[in-house]
Structure 1
Amino acid sequence: MKKYILLSLIVLSLTACNSDLLDTTPKTSIPEAEAYSTPSKILAQVNNLYRLLQNQSFYGGRYLVFNEQRADEFGQSDGNAAAGSAVWNQNVASTNDFVNNVWSVGYTAINASNILISKLEGTTVVSENLAKNYIAEAKFVRALAYFSLIQTYAKPYALDKNGLGLPLRLTPITSAGNNDLARSTIEEIYNQILKDLNEAETDLPTEYTTSLLNTSRAKKVTAIALKTRVYLVQNNFDKVIEEGQKIISINAPYQYNTGNLTQKLEPTYNAIFTGSYTGPEAIFSIPFANSTTETPTAQSSLAFTYLGQPILYLATEGIANDPALNTTDDSRASLIIKNSANQKLLKKFSLATAPFRDYVPVLRYAEVLLNYAEAKAQNNDLATATSLLQAVRNRSNPSFVFPTTAINTKEALLQTLSTERRIEFLGEGLRLMDLQRNLQTLPAKKGAIGTAPLVLVSSSNYIWPIPSGELSTNKLIVPNP
């Protein structure tokens, strides 16, 4: 019997119904002897890693939506389970399809990365340098998947870094019966994430040949940018600064230049979402090409969720009430509209009818600047932090000057930076991470389907439960307390 290598169908906990995960076409299950037999086939397996990130239950849309539903900026208008009403109401169970899907897709991406790494070590099918490049891309994908999962299913690092993390899978699973693995600690998972990103940075290219590839595939700056996010979650501000200094110029206008690649703020905020999607601010995004295989379903797309249906609308008590989002002076306000029900809607993602192919931003240069600014403020360099903050604000409102009381003390500046993050990344899935890394209560919120309760840091539903599928197939795993 031929040995087959399953590239996106490793059944780690596939109990939820998801057609993408259950696709058994030859594209995802091919003879092992053939999968890495030519340069083009190897490249196809590298591209497959990004396709897994693109899954509609992950960075193809729903993962960002889940993070926004659990946070405090949006009310929910649809009470159906398929629209994630239980997620918004903070009462998902381990048997919930979404809880199982995110875990399954994340670990499928991790396993596909493990397979690629193992198959390319010592290969002669492609050059040594190209093999290192591909392995580095796999390590970036593995790091991003682990970071996303640890944020979702384990306690915040700042709360208990020695607590239960995730099963740390670093070797390929290519057959059934190899699923039993205990949970490593939260710190061990973070250590592996950073190890992968450091090694990826070394071997990733500085740039690719097109702006689309620079946006959709990992390069050195991509790994560095993600490290600034990871270290910020760990409250390791010295390391945020160390990484940020690699890709942020000393003085304004802040940017990063290498070869033909430039990373900097877009000249206008709207250009991020209504332009080519591959401008200088896009460090890493999930693209959607003109193909039915790369089209999320309606309820999984960002545009349908925020604008077309809408499933989520901006909460009256949230950041949508901030003056910056209620003035014609700030271009970010133009991406908020009202519908006939007088609800404020987010139109960052505007392709609200099929085929829903807005690119999904994962890492933007604005985030790197604000990560760096927060770390500088925490280290009492208020002048640099303020300059970085001002650069982000002035991109959308060139004449705005922060009042002295908003920036003249460390505490005031940190609060102002927090507010700016809420405005800048509204709807992009970062708000939950910011609440949890700062060990803040998930606030109560009102929506058309009722009121979702607040969630204390000590509550069991502050994080998602370990999925029932994993509990049933992994004898060594234990549920969250």
Structure 2
Amino acid sequence: MRNIFKITIVFALLLTAGCSTKYLDPVPQTSLSDLSVFDTKDRIVAQVNGMYDYMNSGAFMGGRFQVYGDVRADNFIPKSSNLVTNFASWNHTEVSSTNEVQNCWGQIYATINCVNVFLDGLKTNWDEGKLDGIITQDELDQYRSEGLTIRAICYFSLLQLYCKPYNQGNGANPGVPLRIKAMKSSEENDLARSTVAEVYTQILNDLNEAEPLAIEDYGDPVMNTTRVHRNTIIAFKTRVYLNMQDWAKVVSESAKIVSSSAPFTATSGVAFALNPSFTGIFEPPYATSESILSMPFTTTSTPGTQNGLPHYYSYLSSESYFLNTNPGLAYAAMDATDARKTSLLLSDGKYFLTKFSDYTTLTDYAPVMRYAEVLLNRAEAIVRAGGAVTQEAVDLLNAVRTRSFPTGGYTVASFASASDFYTAILQERSIEFLGEGIRTMDLQRLNLPFPAKDGGAMGTVLEIPPTSIGYIWPIPANELSLNKLMTPNQ
């Protein structure tokens, strides 16, 4: 991890988001103790921005992580066989040296170390009284909550790509190295893998610690969409518990931010609710009541050409991905009148998403999580926890479904069994979150195979069963080389 060490120590301390480097003095430094990054509130805020900047990278939540979550699955076919734009992930031929395998791991761990450097420094300076008169207790708590949540998102993301899902062995399989303290020298490279269960425990420890510390509402829609607040944390916990198949916890956490009946809203903190228009979620200013967390971009701060979501889904890109129209997949399952289908664009006989339309300047926000997911998480968990289809679960599913397909509502009688409900909700998720990186998570958390794919000129891909080594990514070659305690996936 020497390459990651160089990135994290230099940039995590000296760089921050956008133009925020103006808060730091451009003087050479030789050690962490030399840096005066906690001298003023502006410098502390710049470091908070810096944590988001790392997560916002096109190599991570700024675009590519979401792309990996879709192209590894079954709903898309590539225009191009360019390995730079994830063709190896689409056809499951990734190896330890594959670009995305190495780059995503490196960026996520760089983000983690940026967070750890900040949290360590913040605590030390606060405990020593050096922040008296600079920030308040409430500000300290909020900054900590943001760092802890970003770190939790990072570790959850690593588990989805590089580790067997929790349902295989109840988390007993190898996870990733748990780095929860700042790396300050290359001598700290060597660290063995924790188990999947241990990593999930750390994720939940971070989120549970962060929740009571977090601000309830920034009072600004854009801030509420792009910065962590209390309801962001609760929402993300529903995703974590869903992937652990802890249905009771999904139900209890979602109850904090989902009202007991339609129209479903969060009744405290930021007032989450479904946006009336599906297409409106993905239009400027990208800050609807449904947008729980998104990565922002501007014309002067973009994810990079081959990183941004428009590059992967716009019909204008020569390297984009179009909808697989074969039977049984999301496109075929959509009714012709469904707004999610009518919003697709037909070009050269291929259907493309229009969610991310700014191909020219790449300013579309990259969604990390939406309220629609929380409602569907809750609906599924209610039925799985109780073993029976309930009216509330159907109402939650219908809230998402009928927004785009008003005549497609279900009743409890629509489902002969709980199994039929699970099939319907998995299909609804596949449709609703096209291009948002959810599909692979859904397949793996349920221990389902990656279906075979007929990509036409791009070739065919055989089914990848959960027992296959190709079900998850390999550990990057750089990590295996530089971390003597690291072990490969088997």
- TM-score calculated relative to the size of structure 1: 0.92
Q: Which residue of 2 aligns with 1:51?
A: 53
Q: Which residue of 1 aligns with 2:157?
A: 148
CA 1:403 to 1:126, structure 2 compared with 1: closer, same or farther past 3 Å? closer
* Residue 456 of structure 1, CA deviation: 1.1
Which of structure 1's runs of 4+ aligned residues deviate more than 6 A?
19-25
Q: Which residue of 2 aligns with 1:221?
A: 231
CA 1:316 to 1:375, structure 2 compared with 1: closer, same or farther past 3 Å? same
* Residue 399 of structure 1, CA deviation: 3.2
1:11 paired to 2:3? yes
- The amino acid across from 1:142 in the alignment is R
Query: Equivalent pairs: percent with the same residue?
Result: 38
Deviations 1:19-57 (A, max 9, x none): 999979952697543212110100000011111111111
Deviations 1:77-126 (A, max 9, x none): 20111121111110111011210111111111111111111111152232
* Residue 290 of structure 1, CA deviation: 3.4
Q: Which residue of 2 aligns with 1:477?
A: 486
- The amino acid across from 1:470 in the alignment is E
1:349 paired to 2:351? no
- The amino acid across from 1:226 in the alignment is F
The separation in 1 between residues aligned to 2:12 and 2:241, in whole angstroms, is 38
1:104 paired to 2:112? no
| 8 Å CA contact retained: 2:62, 2:366 | yes
1:230 paired to 2:240? yes
1:362 to 365, 368, 373: 368
Q: Which residue of 2 aligns with 1:6?
A: none
Alignment map for 1:30-429 (pairs within 5 Å): 31=29, 32=32, 33-121=35-123, 123=126, 124=131, 125-160=134-169, 161-258=171-268, 261-291=270-300, 294-307=301-314, 308-309=316-317, 310-317=319-326, 319-324=329-334, 326-328=335-337, 330-340=338-348, 342-353=349-360, 355-378=361-384, 379=386, 380-402=388-410, 406-429=414-437
Gapped runs of 5+ residues in structure 1? 1-8
Structure with more of its chain in strand, by fraction:
1
The separation in 1 between residues aligned to 2:98 and 2:308, in whole angstroms, is 19
1:445 paired to 2:453? yes
| 8 Å CA contact retained: 1:21, 1:105 | no
- The amino acid across from 1:205 in the alignment is I
| 8 Å CA contact retained: 1:12, 1:179 | no
Q: Which moved more, 1:188-197 or 1:295-304?
A: 295-304
* Residue 314 of structure 1, CA deviation: 0.6
Deviations 1:223-254 (A, max 9, x none): 10010001001110000000000000011110
1:430 paired to 2:418? no
* Residue 382 of structure 1, CA deviation: 2.0
Q: Which residue of 2 aligns with 1:27?
A: 15
| 8 Å CA contact retained: 1:273, 1:349 | yes
- The amino acid across from 2:378 in the alignment is Y
* Residue 13 of structure 1, CA deviation: 7.4
CA 1:126 to 1:22, structure 2 compared with 1: closer, same or farther past 3 Å? closer
Q: Which residue of 2 aligns with 1:467?
A: 476
| 8 Å CA contact retained: 2:105, 2:158 | yes
* Residue 296 of structure 1, CA deviation: 2.1
CA 1:197 to 1:27, structure 2 compared with 1: closer, same or farther past 3 Å? same
The separation in 2 between residues aligned to 1:321 and 1:365, in whole angstroms, is 22
The separation in 2 between residues aligned to 1:270 and 1:221, in whole angstroms, is 23
- The amino acid across from 2:336 in the alignment is T
- The amino acid across from 1:197 in the alignment is L
Give secondary structure in 1 for the equivalent of 2:368: strand
The separation in 2 between residues aligned to 1:476 and 1:346, in whole angstroms, is 43
The separation in 1 between residues aligned to 2:14 and 2:241, in whole angstroms, is 39
- The amino acid across from 2:339 in the alignment is S
* Residue 377 of structure 1, CA deviation: 1.1
The separation in 1 between residues aligned to 2:74 and 2:405, in whole angstroms, is 25
The separation in 1 between residues aligned to 2:409 and 2:439, in whole angstroms, is 24
Q: Which moved more, 1:217-226 or 1:170-179?
A: 170-179
- The amino acid across from 1:362 in the alignment is V
* Residue 395 of structure 1, CA deviation: 1.4
Q: Which moved more, 1:450-459 or 1:224-233?
A: 450-459
| 8 Å CA contact retained: 1:407, 1:413 | yes
* Residue 282 of structure 1, CA deviation: 0.4
| 8 Å CA contact retained: 2:61, 2:295 | yes
Give secondary structure in 2 for the equivalent of 1:257: coil
Pairwise CA RMSD: 2.2
- TM-score calculated relative to the size of structure 2: 0.90
